């Protein structure tokens, strides 16, 4: 997620330094097809016409700095997820302001957790997330939490990674009553979980695929996408610098159904 500050550098083991993670930081590493031509990373495409009428969204963290959420809503943004936590110790310093001000502006918002399977178990991180921004209430303006998992495989085998993700999911659901949304890329999921299908009936998929194509590539093991992050270089009124742009797969009624946990 690009913003007014410089992107976080990568540690030598492929993981970003603690606290520096954000949605998309691992995308270039995940998506090998983008490594060959850096010019592709500057694409700011629109999604295909079939989803242009669907709700538009963004995802943000402290890299974006101060945000005018009224201007964001006025620009047509209907939903947003914002970074809350990372690992079991880091809390995003912009989260509280973003979460409250987005709500006041009428943006349907939710929190995300940047996964660090290298520092602790999935259950511990889900507990930290649920207690520090990842909670949920049925109020027409709160989305379920997101597990942002990308970049490095953190030295884990596919089986071990599957277990870590399932532990996070089960703990988050026990704490909140909601299925956590999974944000990832096809390359990361296929490589680091072995294309596991075990979450397809549990978690909505948020697919990261920065492309001018009409739809995203989705990981093996998932039948369809629910949210699509289609660029990291978007522009939205109320935000200085680049911001990730997203689209929801259904209409506003389906977005509200996801928010309110209704059929």
**Which residues are marked as active site?**
59, 148, 150
Cα Dmax for the chain: 45
Question: HEC states along the chain?
Answer: CCCCCCCCCCCCCCCCCCCCCCCCCCHHHHCHHHHCCHHHHHCCCCCCHHHCCCCEEEEECHHHCCCCHHHHHHCCEEEEEEEEEECCCEECCCHHHHHHHHHHCCCEEEEEEECCCCCCCHHHHHHHHHHCCCCCCCCCCECCCEEECCCCCCCCCHHHHHHHHHHHHHHHHHHHCCCCEEEECHHHHHHHCCCCCCCCCCCCEEEECCCCCCCCCCCCCCCCCCEEEEEEEECCCCCCCCEEEEEECCCHHHHHHHHHCCC
Which CATH architecture best describes the domain 33-260?
Alpha-Beta Barrel (3.20)
Q: What is the mean pLDDT of each run of 10 residues along the chain (263 residues)?
A: 41 72 87 43 55 89 97 98 98 98 98 97 98 97 98 96 98 98 97 98 97 90 97 96 96 97 95
Phi, psi torsion values for 21, nearest 5 degrees: -75, 150
Burial of 223 (0-12, 13-18, 19+ CB in 10 A): exposed
Nearest to 204 by CA among 151, 165, 258: 258
Domain boundaries, the chain: 33-260
- The pLDDT value recorded for residue 14 is 64
d(CA 231, CA 146): 18
User: Please, what is the end-to-end C-alpha distance for the chain in angstroms?
Assistant: 32
């Amino acid at each position: 997620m690009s913003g007014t500050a410089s992107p976080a550098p990568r540690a030598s083991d492929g993981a970003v330094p603690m606290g520096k993670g954000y949605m998309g930081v691992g995308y270039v590493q995940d998506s090998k097809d983008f490594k060959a031509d850096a010019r592709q990373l500057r694409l700011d495409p629109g999604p295909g016409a079939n989803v242009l009428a669907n709700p538009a969204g963004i995802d943000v963290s402290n890299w974006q700095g101060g945000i005018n959420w009224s201007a964001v809503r006025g620009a047509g943004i209907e939903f947003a997820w914002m970074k809350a936590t990372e690992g079991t110790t880091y809390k995003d310093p912009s989260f509280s302001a973003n979460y409250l001000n987005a709500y006041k502006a009428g943006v349907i918002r939710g929190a995300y957790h940047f996964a660090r399977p290298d520092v602790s178990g999935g259950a511990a991180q889900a507990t930290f997330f649920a207690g520090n921004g990842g909670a949920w209430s049925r109020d027409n303006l709160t989305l379920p939490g997101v597990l942002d998992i990308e970049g490095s495989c953190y030295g884990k085998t596919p089986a071990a990674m599957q277990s870590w993700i399932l532990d996070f999911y089960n703990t988050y659901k026990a704490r909140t009553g909601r299925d956590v949304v999974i944000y990832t890329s096809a390359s990361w999921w296929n490589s680091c979980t072995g294309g596991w299908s075990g979450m397809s009936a549990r978690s909505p998929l948020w697919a990261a695929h920065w492309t001018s194509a009409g739809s995203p590539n989705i990981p093996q093991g998932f039948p369809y996408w629910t949210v699509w992050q289609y660029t990291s270089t978007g522009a939205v009124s109320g935000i200085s610098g680049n911001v990730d742009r997203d689209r929801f797969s259904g209409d506003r009624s389906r977005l509200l159904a996801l928010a309110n946990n209704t059929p």
